[in-house]
Amino acid sequence: MSVISLINMKGGVGKTTLAINIGDCLASRHEKKVLLIDVDPQFNCSQSLMSPDDYIKYLKEEGDTIINVFERSKRPIANTVEGIQDKKNKELVDVTPIEVRNNLFLLPGNLELYRMEMSPGEGREYKLSKYITATTEKHEFDIVIIDTPPTPSIWMTSALLASNYYIIPVKPDPMSFTGIDLLESIIEDKKQNFDLKIECLGLVLTMVEANTRVYNGVIETISNSNKWSSLKFTKEIPKRTEIAREQLNQKFILDNNDEKSKIALTGLVSEILAKI
Ligand SMILES: Nc1ncnc2c1ncn2[C@@H]1O[C@H](COP(=O)(O)OP(=O)(O)OP(=O)(O)O)[C@@H](O)[C@H]1O
Ligand SMILES: [Mg+2]
């Protein structure tokens, strides 16, 4: 079982889009049982996998979200015999993801994470890791993919502690290495404070418009770096407006008609499988 986080401290580089599409490809083409976990308070990953109506209905019906991992319910319930008593905390292992497609499961995100970050929570960094161990044992997931927020936070630390691998999506632009340098320094810092076992699987270029000046500049920067040139995935995800548009309709790269992006994604997933 592998746990892979999609991480970059820069926003809008394609973390969420890649998390969903890698998960979908692993489930639909490789028959892997995949769990996606949305630890970003923006919960874009969940919005791409559930329609707004379905998400609201899910919350109303008390479906589990990432909140149940970090803070299990303590709401009081009425009991006719003993009066008001604390609702029993749900065991981590009973926090249940929803199957959004065949073999593709989601533990949805929740906007409440913004509020929760402000409140104390002893040992909260390790809860995600504990949850993944418990849920993969119960549901036999082959691969867990974590979509992370772009800002350093307890959610990011939890993802780092819970993962054996991370993938860095990079959008070729003049500032593309700012987020990577920051990420590497944060990982170094966490290594000093925690027992991190995470390893970089590689760097994926996303939203690629090949042969532009900016793209060529980024390729040159990568090839001049011993570290990143060996870690760059061969396949690159091209920029396609269809990918962005259809994502809001819960459709992914393999559902679209663009052969080039499908070939790029399936090739990328094969490269990932060869490395884990
Ligand atoms: N290959 C692509 N072609 C065109 N648009 C894309 C592509 N990949 C992602 N996008 C779009 O770019 C925007 C940013 O992508 P995404 O949300 O995946 O980035 P992110 O790194 O998760 O952002 P954040 O840091 O806010 O979480 C989204 O609107 C998404 O639909
Ligand atoms: Mg995102």
CATH no. for residue 113? 3.40.50.300
The predicted pLDDT at position 199 comes to 95
Taking residue 105's Cβ as centre, other Cβ atoms within 10 Å add up to 22
Tally of domains in the chain: 1
The predicted pLDDT at position 84 comes to 46
Rounded to an integer, what is the distance from CA 244 to the centroid of its chain?
A: 17
The predicted pLDDT at position 222 comes to 94
Instruction: Give the pLDDT confidence of 174-207 residue by residue, as tens digits.
Output: 888 888 988 999 999 998 889 898 999 999 999 9
The predicted pLDDT at position 178 comes to 83
DSSP string, 120-162: --TTGGGHHHHHHHHHHHHH--SEEEEE--SS-SHHHHHHHHH
Residue whose Cα lies nearest atom 29 of ligand 1: it is 244
* Best residue for ligand 1 mutational test, from 16, 40, 242 (most atoms within 8 Å of Cβ): 16
The predicted pLDDT at position 76 comes to 46
Which ligand 1 atom is the nearest neighbour of the CA of 8?
A: 21
DSSP string, 45-92: HHHHHS-HHHHHHHHHTT---THHHHS----EEEETTTEEEEPPPPPG
In the chain, how many H helices and how many E strands? 12, 9
Eight-class DSSP state of 4: E
Which ligand ends up closest to the CA of 171? 1
Diameter of the chain measured on Cα atoms: 73
Structure tokens at 16: 């969420």
Distance from C-alpha of 218 to C-alpha of 14, rounded to nearest angstrom: 16
Residue 244 Cβ < 6 Å to ligand 1: yes
**pTM over the 0.85 mark:** yes
| Amino acid present at 7 | I
The predicted pLDDT at position 8 comes to 95
Q: Which domain holds residue 267?
A: 2-275
The predicted pLDDT at position 73 comes to 52
The predicted pLDDT at position 88 comes to 55
Non-local CB neighbours of 114 within 8 Å, separated by 6+ positions: 41
Residue 104 Cβ < 6 Å to ligand 1: no
Residue whose Cα lies nearest atom 9 of ligand 1: it is 14
Distance from C-alpha of 158 to C-alpha of 45, rounded to nearest angstrom: 17
pLDDT digit of tens for each residue in the chain (276 aa)? 999 999 999 999 999 999 999 999 999 999 999 999 999 999 999 999 999 999 999 999 999 999 999 986 555 444 455 444 445 568 999 999 999 999 999 999 999 998 887 776 778 899 999 999 999 999 999 999 999 999 989 999 999 999 999 999 999 998 888 889 889 999 999 988 898 989 999 999 999 999 999 999 999 999 999 999 999 999 999 999 999 999 989 999 999 999 999 999 999 999 999 999
Taking residue 91's Cβ as centre, other Cβ atoms within 10 Å add up to 9
Distance from C-alpha of 250 to C-alpha of 253, rounded to nearest angstrom: 10
The predicted pLDDT at position 90 comes to 82
Query: Is the CB of residue 128 less than 8 Å from the CB of residue 161?
Result: yes
107 backbone dihedrals φ, ψ, rounded to 5°: -100, 105
The predicted pLDDT at position 74 comes to 52
The predicted pLDDT at position 156 comes to 93
Q: If we measure between CA atoms, which residue out of 166, 144, 207, 180 comes closest to residue 17? A: 207
